[in-house]
């Protein structure tokens, strides 16, 4: 007999396609389910699942129809399929990691809202999705018993935007996989030989999407190359997302585009090597709820140039060079500083070793579990 019964939205657990929300779901549920064998977890998938996601004997998988990858299907999946399954399972609570919940269920819900980028930059997402998020997310936030989010910035944003009481929102942060760690000199040389013909490189990690500001990275890199005359490369590791035209046009007009290498989406083992061998990470997004690549780079002893907006200063602390993401000149100047000032680069790495200790998936899971126990006041 299990002590607790928890249903979990696991539709972002997709083999070899895990990204931000998927990794949050994976890393926290892996720990939670194995650390608490007295709790029965019911994982709700929207398509056939990979067996590797059934982490332990106390996990019961369910596949609910239809696959929820479109606003109309989101509604059907959460309001009908999930509600019906929750009525059958009768869990103590529903834990949803992707900002959605069922408005029709009476099961108490712990909702994870990672950020409100769709409120601040609605033009950067599909119009129908934008309408859905902006209409339903305030309703979800009010219906949830508790909300978890990944930064103090996001907590303040949620409370302000939706008039949510501060004591209803808990900050749990993000972490980085254990695969992100410093490389040996031989490993660094091997990675550079594979990707850049042995040359040093700046690195961007993430989707190639307007909100990620890759266009200004291209502009800054062109300026840097002109000023420095170096043989530095720029590696872009990520999938192409929506609304690519401006970024592609900018790339086509680059003077030094032959020094830009696109790897496409990389799995964690390969990505950790590419990050670990980088001269510096350039992560200057316009808006983030957290910014996991910043932490991944710090875990690899790689200095970071990041934005001075939204949550990124919170993650970066004093370990990273912070710039105005709208200024390619500032981004270029930060690249030049790290390139020409070896002592500054070493200081950023050393400060990163201190800053990174504030974040881990183990701490994220601990805070989430403490929040879940709040649903069981008599334990």
Predicted pLDDT of residue 241: 67
Over residues 328-365, the pLDDT tens digits come to 999 999 999 999 999 999 999 999 999 999 999 999 99
Predicted pLDDT of residue 36: 98
pLDDT > 70? residue 245: no
Predicted pLDDT of residue 130: 95
Over residues 154-192, the pLDDT tens digits come to 999 999 999 999 999 999 999 999 999 999 999 999 999
In this prediction, residue 379 has a pLDDT band, given cuts at 50, 70 and 90, of confident
Average pLDDT of the segment spanning 133-143: 98
Write down the domain spans for the chain: 4-175+360-373, 185-358
The chain-wide mean pLDDT, for the chain, equals: 96
Over residues 259-299, the pLDDT tens digits come to 999 999 999 999 999 999 999 999 999 999 999 999 999 99
In this prediction, residue 124 has a pLDDT band, given cuts at 50, 70 and 90, of confident
Fold of 185-358: Rossmann fold (3.40.50)
The CATH homologous superfamily for domain 4-175+360-373 is: Glycogen Phosphorylase B; (3.40.50.2000)
Residues 6 or more apart whose Cβ sits within 8 Å of residue 135: none
Rounded Cα–Cα distance for residues 36 and 252 (Å): 53
In this prediction, residue 242 has a pLDDT band, given cuts at 50, 70 and 90, of low
Predicted pLDDT of residue 246: 86
Predicted pLDDT of residue 244: 60
In the chain, pLDDT over 70 holds for what percent of residues?
A: 99
Over residues 51-100, the pLDDT tens digits come to 999 999 999 999 999 999 899 999 999 999 999 999 999 999 999 999 99
Over residues 27-63, the pLDDT tens digits come to 999 999 999 999 999 999 999 999 999 999 999 999 9
């Amino acid at each position: 007999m299990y002590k607790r019964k928890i249903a979990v939205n696991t539709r972002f657990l997709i083999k070899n396609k895990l990204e931000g929300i998927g990794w949050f779901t994976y890393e926290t549920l892996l720990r939670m389910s194995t650390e608490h064998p007295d709790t029965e977890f019911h994982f709700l998938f929207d398509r056939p699942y990979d067996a590797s996601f059934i982490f332990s004997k106390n996990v019961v998988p369910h596949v609910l129809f239809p696959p929820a990858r479109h606003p109309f299907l989101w509604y059907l999946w959460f309001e009908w399929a999930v509600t019906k399954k929750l009525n059958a399972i009768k869990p103590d609570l529903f834990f949803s990691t992707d900002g959605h919940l069922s408005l029709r269920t009476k099961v108490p819900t712990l909702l994870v809202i990672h950020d409100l980028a769709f409120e601040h930059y609605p033009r950067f997402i599909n119009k129908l999705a934008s309408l859905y998020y902006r209409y339903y997310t305030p309703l979800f936030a009010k219906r949830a018993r508790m909300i978890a989010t990944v930064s103090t910035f996001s907590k303040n944003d949620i409370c302000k935007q939706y008039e949510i009481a501060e004591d209803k929102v808990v900050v749990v942060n993000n972490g980085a996989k254990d695969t992100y760690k410093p490389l040996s000199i031989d490993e660094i040389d091997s990675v550079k030989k594979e990707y850049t013909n042995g040359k040093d490189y700046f690195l961007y990690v993430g989707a190639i999407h307007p909100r990620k500001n890759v266009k200004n990275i291209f502009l800054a890199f062109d300026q840097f190359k002109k000023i420095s005359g170096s043989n530095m490369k720029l590696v872009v590791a990520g999938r192409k997302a929506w609304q690519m035209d401006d970024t592609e046009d900018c790339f086509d007009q680059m003077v030094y585009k032959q020094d830009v290498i696109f790897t496409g989406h990389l799995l964690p083992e390969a990505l950790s090597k590419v990050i670990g061998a980088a001269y510096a990470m350039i992560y200057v997004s316009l808006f983030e709820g957290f910014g996991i690549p910043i932490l991944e780079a710090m875990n690899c002893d790689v200095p970071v140039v990041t934005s001075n907006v939204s949550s990124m200063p919170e993650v970066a602390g004093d370990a990273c060079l912070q710039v105005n993401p709208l200024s390619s000149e500032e981004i270029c100047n930060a690249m030049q500083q790290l390139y020409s000032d070896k002592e500054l680069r070493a200081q950023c790495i050393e400060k990163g070793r201190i800053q990174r200790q504030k974040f881990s998936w183990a701490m994220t899971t601990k805070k989430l579990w403490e929040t879940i126990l709040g649903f069981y006041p008599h334990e």
